[in-house]
Homo-oligomer: A and B are copies of this chain.
Amino acid sequence: MEKTCIDALPLTMNSSEKQEIVCIFGTGDFGRSLGLKMLQCGYSIVFGSRNPQKNNLLPNGAEVLSYSEAAKKSDIIIIAIHREHYDFLTELTEVLNGKILVDISNNLKINQYPESNAEYLAQLVPGAHVVKAFNTISAWALQSGALDASRQVFVCGNDSKAKQRVMDIVRNLGLTPMDQGSLTAAKEIEKYPLQLFPMWRFPFYLSAVLCIFLFFYCVIRDVIYPYVYEKKDNTFRMAISIPNRVFPITALTLLALVYLPGVIAAILQLYRGTKYRRFPDWLDHWMLCRKQLGLLALGFAFLHVLYTLVIPIRYYVRWRSGNLTVTQAILKKENPFSTSSAWLSDSYVALGILGFFLFVLLGITSLPSVSNAVNWREFRFVQSKLGYLTLILCTAHTLVYGGKRFLSPSNLKWYLPAAYVLGLIIPCTVLVIKFVLIMPCVDNTLTRIRQGWERNSKH
């Protein structure tokens, strides 16, 4: 429910309760935006400033005083100052004693300082109750009210009463406070707004490299090769035909890479005979970005579907089939119907559709709100059972597509096999290993290890 303070304004005016006074240290942009917003929401604001005289930009209705005077006015003080200038607060320790200091600061880059700004502030002013908040909200969004991004304000602090006070203010500004526990959480909270899809970076680059490689591979086979030998200009294939080879292969490979780390982990555990030794970091990191890999794979699969469905609309396709029919008509011969081809074409299309359907299901269940609504057992069921079924269907789809002309020498150009052959390597490997792993004998050992049993232990 969006609570727009513009409506709240008159309300708080005629409401009997006396207005709460909040003090803001610093008259920078964020300080002013926050002050304006709080004024609109019926708070009365006192700004603390180095030189209270020359501040002509402050929202009307706000008072400006020296730091110490301002601090005296209220027991909640928002520190809208960069960490670099915190040190002057040490002179105010006795004034700030027992007050609530709200640290809203952010750094320019992650891990800029050993400890979080909020904890640094707490060390400077031991007497005060430091609460971290508001650092995830942008000043611009606060003013424009365009808070689509996220109304969540992460709040943490060691004094629960102080935290509660701040969370009430957050609510009154129409934002959603999220209690993150003690002040040790400040480190994470300060890291949060600086991130730009950290988990997506590796999967993204990986798929980008895959795409580019496959693109040139196909260009060589489908454009350069025919040009060299038949002087045919196939460049137009680069718009649709070739992407429609690149995307499905990338999708299938990425999907297989989602399940490869799990398989490797199982082998490691079997080999070590215990689950109590950490996996190598690369494996850990890989496992943590499986979701992103899967979603990227889904994206490429989606593109593949669209590229495939537009085939009959393409000029080239219409021209070719048209001419084909014309020549047949001229030669007065109908071409016979081959049931096997019908089976082949229909079944590989059907496999593809079913695979894509399950894939979309997987994607939907990975939506935060959906995955929060299912329990662990259900999630495992969907992600591993349905996930493997998807992988099997998509691999089968590619295999049947290959059909007879699979690895037939006629299909090699400059000794390069068709691209889809490359796309099958990883998926098949994963499926074969997985098949071995679910053999009862292997599976039992693995299950016992995962339940805590250790091979070389006195248990």
**A contacts, CB < 8 Å to B:** 1, 3, 7-8, 11-12, 14-17, 28-29, 32, 42, 54, 56-57, 114-116, 119, 123, 136-138, 140-141, 143-146, 148-152, 154, 158, 160, 164, 168, 171-172, 179-182, 184-185, 187-189, 191-197, 233, 235-236, 239-240, 243, 275-276, 284, 287-288, 290-291, 299, 302-303, 305-316, 318-319, 321-330, 332, 334-335, 337, 339, 341-347, 349-350, 353-354, 356-357, 360-361, 366-381, 383, 450-452, 454, 457-459
Contacts and interface: CB of A to CB of B under 8 A. Distances in A.
Contacts of A291: 148
A327 B318 contact: no
Of the candidates A116, A137, A171, A356, the one having the most CB atoms from chain B within 10 angstroms of its own CB is A171
**Chain A interface mostly helix, strand, loop or mixed?**
helix
Contacts of A194: 377
Nearest to A320: B337
A243 B350 CA distance: 9
B119 A15 contact: yes
A11 B334 contact: no
Contact of A148 (B11, B28, B366): B366
A13 B319 CA distance: 72
A192 B378 CA distance: 10
Given A168-B182, A316-B346, A146 B307 contact: no
Contact of A376 (B141, B144, B172, B187): B141
Contacts of A3: 180, 185, 188
Given A372-B152, A375-B193, A334 B323 contact: yes
A458 B56 contact: yes
16 contacts: A1-B192, A3-B188, A15-B119, A16-B123, A57-B276, A146-B290, A149-B371, A152-B372, A168-B182, A192-B375, A196-B377, A243-B350, A312-B312, A322-B325, A326-B328, A368-B373
Of the candidates A115, A321, A371, the one having the most CB atoms from chain B within 10 angstroms of its own CB is A371
Nearest to A323: B334
A403 to B, nearest CB: 11
A15 B184 CA distance: 8
Nearest to A141: B376
Nearest to A295: B364
A377 B327 contact: no
